[in-house]
Amino acid sequence: MKTRIALGLVAAAVLTQAGCSTKIKSLPMPAALQTQNGQDVALYFGEQAHAPVTQSFGNKEFAVRVPRKPDVSPEANCNNALAKALQDLRDYARAQHANAVVDIKTHFQHNESASSTEFTCGASLNGSTLAVRGDVVKLETQAQ
């Protein structure tokens, strides 16, 4: 009888942990993030073409965890985490007087994406987590 109780407790613990596991997702890049319209700091993912770099301010990374709201899907929550991380990256670049961040990659743990059409996120029942990393630069601008 004690063995059954012990096995029942172990099974309950395993099921509880399985329900809380984080799933690594590769999701489509939100269309709003693929445009540079109206942004003072442009974002270029992976190997996207951009103007020549005139000054580099180094590589910067921001990791973000966004708690999940009950009425939001894990995918939408990942989009919120990405938007927050990219805003942090833009704010940092702006403070450095940069006008772009190039070679942006997203990652969760050891899973990385350098794509301009997809990003990597860790999603669980509790929230979404990811990191963005890119080179903060000043790009050559056209004379107006």
What CATH number did the domain enclosing 55 receive?
A: 3.30.110.70
The range of the structural domain enclosing residue 126 comes to: 22-139
pTM of the model as a whole: 0.81
Q: Is the pLDDT of residue 16 over 90?
A: no
In this prediction, residue 131 has a pLDDT band, given cuts at 50, 70 and 90, of: very high
Q: What is the pLDDT of residue 80?
A: 94
* 24 within 8 A of 108, measured Cβ to Cβ: yes
pLDDT band at 2 (very low <50, low <70, confident <90, very high): low
Do the Cβ atoms of 96 and 41 come closer than 8 Å?
A: no
The radius of gyration computed from the CA coordinates of the chain, to the nearest angstrom, equals: 20
- The reported pLDDT for the residue numbered 35 is 63
Burial tier of 63 (Cβ tally within 10 Å: 0-12, 13-18, 19+): middle
Mean pLDDT of 55-66: 96
Number of domains in the chain: 1
* Predicted pLDDT at 69: 85
Residue 61 belongs to some domain of the structure: yes
